[in-house]
Amino acid sequence: MVNLSLHLTQACLRAPNLGRRSASRTVRTICSASTYPKSDIVFPYSRIHQPVMLDEVIAHLAPQPGKVYLDGTFGEGGYTKRILDEADCRVFAIDQDPCAIDKAHMLAQAYPDRLEVKWHEFGKLGALSRTFDGIVLDIGLSSGQLASDRGFSFKTDSPLDMRMSSTSTHGSLRRLIPADVVLNQFSAEKLAGIFRQYGQERFARPIANEIDKRRAKAPFATTHQLVDAVLAAVPKRYAREATIHPATRVFQSLRIYVNDELGQLQSGLASAANALNPGGRLVVVSFHSLEDSMIKKHFRALAQEAALSEELPDTDGSNGTVFRILTKRAARPTSTEVDQNPRCRSAKLRALERVTSIR
Ligand SMILES: C[S@@+](CC[C@H](N)C(=O)[O-])C[C@H]1O[C@@H](n2cnc3c(N)ncnc32)[C@H](O)[C@@H]1O
C-alpha cells in the first residue's frame, strides 16, 4: 500500500499545471486516502535508505530535551527518527521531494506533536523564519530515489528526468529542467562542461560529441540511451578496466546540474548558520569533493570572521557571535560501515557550533 501511495505521488509529481498548494494537498490526500487501511500508511513505512554515519551525526548534534532541530534533508527519515528517539525534543523536517514528504507525514503520526513537516528546499532555509538548536544536512540522493523510475540510475531503464522535485508542482520552489531537455537542447560544449565540472569526467568532450551525433537522429528519452552513448564514446580498454561503471560520472554530473545542488548548498550553508540558536550545531554530510570543499571553506570563513570580531569592539551589538569548528578534519565512515553500506564510502562529515562569547 505504501508503494501504491508513493506511486500515486509520483503520478501527482508529473501532473501538469498544479500549483504548489494544490500539489501538497494532493500529497496529503493520497497519504490519508480512506481506501488505505490505516495500519498500512503509518510508520514504519518501507525504508531502503541506510542513514550514513548515523552515530557520528547524533554525537555531533547531541539532541537535548525541549530543543528543536531541523532535518533539512528528510529523505527516508533515518536521522529524524533517531533524533526523536534520542531525546524528548522536536524536529522540523523538510525535503524538496514530495515522495520524502509523504514518508515524513507517516512518521509524524508515530510522534504526535513532535515532528513538523514542510515541503521545502534547504536553499531557502531563511524563508522559514525560524531558529533551531541544531541543523543537519545530508546532501545527495536517497536510496529510494536511486531505485525509483525517475532517471537517477544507469542500472535501470527509465525516463531521463533526474529532478528531485518537479517543476510543475512547485510553484514557489525552483523550476528545474529535466535531464532529457538538458541532453537534447544544450550545446555539445556546454554538456562537456557539465560532465567535466560536476563529474570530473575524463572523456567529457568525446561523450558530448557522441550525444550530439545521436540526438540529431532521435532525441534522448531514456537512461539506457544515455548509457549506450557513453559506452560508445569511452575507449573500450578504459571501459573494461574502470573500477566504476563508465556512465557513473556522467549521471552524477547531470543530476548535480539538474538540481543545482551546489547552488542549493551554498545558499543553504549561508542561511543555516544564521538560523542556529546559541549553542546550536550544524552537521553536514556530503559525498562529492566539490561539496566538501565548499563546506570546509564556508566553515573556516565563519570561524575566522568570528575570531576577528572577537578582537574588535562590539560595535554591531552582536556580543561577539562565534562559530567554532567541531571537526578539524572531516570525519569519515568506519570501515565496518563501508563494508555494510558501500554507498557511504565517499561520505564526509563536518560540524560547526554557534557559541556566543561573553565580552
Ligand atoms: C541522502 S538523502 C537523506 C537521507 C536521510 N538522512 C535519511 O536518513 O533517510 C537526501 C535527501 O535530501 C533531499 N534534498 C536534496 N537536495 C535538497 C534541497 N536542496 N532541499 C531539500 N531537500 C533536498 C533529497 O530529496 C533526499 O530526499
pLDDT tens, residue by residue, 77-87: 999 999 999 99
Ligand 1 atom with minimal separation from the 136 CA: 6
Smallest CA separation from ligand 1 atom 7, residue: 78
Q: What is the pLDDT of residues 142-179, one digit of tens each?
A: 998 999 899 999 999 999 999 998 645 555 567 889 99
Check pLDDT > 60 for residue 1: no
| Residue with the larger pLDDT of the pair 34 and 149 | 149
| Number of domains observed in the structure of the chain | 2
Residue 250's domain comprises 177-258
Same domain, yes or no: 277 and 346: yes
Give 72 or 171, the one with higher predicted confidence. Answer: 72
Q: What's the 166 CA to ligand 1 centre distance in angstroms?
A: 14
Q: What is the mean pLDDT of residues 280-305?
A: 95
Cell of 205: 568532450
Torsion of CA 144, 146, 147, 151, to 10 degrees: 130
Residue 44: asked if its preceding bond is cis (omega within 30°), the reply is: yes
Alpha carbons 150 and 215: distance in angstroms, whole number = 21
Contacts of 23 (CB under 8 A, 6+ apart): 12, 13, 15, 98, 169, 170
Domain end: 237, 258, 279, which one? 258
pLDDT of residue 27: 34
| Residue whose CB lies within 8 A of the most ligand 1 atoms, among 79, 119, 139, 142, for a mutation test | 142
Within a domain: residue 124?
yes
- Identify which of 165, 137, 141 has the alpha carbon closest to the alpha carbon of residue 152: 141
161: its cell numbers? 528526468
pLDDT at residue 317 is higher than 60: no
- pLDDT at res. 203: 97
Residue in 164, 260, 265 to alter for ligand 1 test, most ligand atoms within 8 A of Cβ: 164
- pLDDT tens digits, one per residue of 221-263: 999 999 999 999 999 888 788 888 999 999 999 999 999 999 9
Report the pLDDT value the prediction gives residue 239, as an integer from 0 to 100.
79
- The residue ranking higher by pLDDT, 356 or 288, is 288
Q: Is residue 111 part of a domain?
A: yes
Domain end call among 228, 258, 288: 258
136 in Cβ contact with 112 (< 8 Å): no
Cell of 331: 570525519
pLDDT at 174: 73
The answer to whether residue 130 is domain-embedded is yes
In a shared domain, residues 83 and 214: no
Same domain, 229 and 307: no
Is residue 159 situated within a structural domain? no
Its sign, for the CA torsion 117, 118, 119, 121, is: negative
Packing angle, helices 248-258 and 261-274, rounded to 10? 50
Give the pLDDT of residue 37: 31
Instruction: Determine what percent of the chain is predicted with pLDDT higher than 70.
Output: 80
3-state secondary structure of 270: helix
Residue 37 lies in a domain: no
Least Cα distance to 296 among 328, 320, 270 occurs for: 328
Residue 38's pLDDT band, with cuts at 50, 70 and 90, is: very low
Is 90 exceeded by the pLDDT of residue 17?
no
Question: For position 202, which CATH number holds?
Answer: 1.10.150.170
Picking from 263, 314, 349, the residue whose alpha carbon sits closest to that of residue 58 is 349
Q: What is the pLDDT of residue 304?
A: 85
Domain boundary at 231, 258, 285, which? 258
| 249 and 268 co-located in one domain | no
Pocket test for ligand 1, best of 27, 52, 74 (most atoms within 8 A of CB): 74
**Statement to judge: residues 97 and 243 lie in one domain:** no
> Which pTM value belongs to this model?
0.85
Beta bridge partners of 276: 132
332 and 272 share a domain?
Answer: yes
Let me know if residue 11 belongs to a domain: no
190 located within any domain? yes
Q: Are 178 and 258 in contact (CB under 8 A)?
A: yes
Report yes or no on 156 lying in a domain.
no
**For residue 20, what is its C-alpha cell?**
504548489
77 lines ligand 1 (CB under 6 A): yes
79 lines ligand 1 (CB under 6 A): yes
> Model confidence at 36, in pLDDT bands (50, 70, 90)?
very low
**CB-based contact 61:331 (threshold 8 Å):** no
- Same domain, yes or no, for 319 and 237? no
Distance CA 37, CA 308 (A): 59
Name residue, grid cell 578539524.
Answer: 328
Note whether 49 and 119 are same-domain residues: yes
Tell me which residue of 107, 180, 100 sits closest to 148, measured CA to CA.
100
- Both 111 and 203 in one domain: the answer is no
More reliable by pLDDT, 147 or 213: 213
**pLDDT level of residue 15 (50, 70, 90 thresholds):** very low
* 20-31 average pLDDT score: 34
> What is the percent of the chain with per-residue pLDDT over 90, rounded to a whole number?
71
* Pairwise CA distance, residues 12 & 19, whole Å: 11
The pLDDT-based confidence of 332 (bands split at 50, 70, 90) is very high
ipTM over 0.90: yes
- Are 135 and 54 part of one and the same domain? yes
Together in a domain, 276 and 308: yes
Q: Which pLDDT belongs to residue 313?
A: 54
User: What's the CATH code of the domain at 104?
Assistant: 3.40.50.150
287/326 same-domain check: yes
Provide the pLDDT for residue 166.
Answer: 67
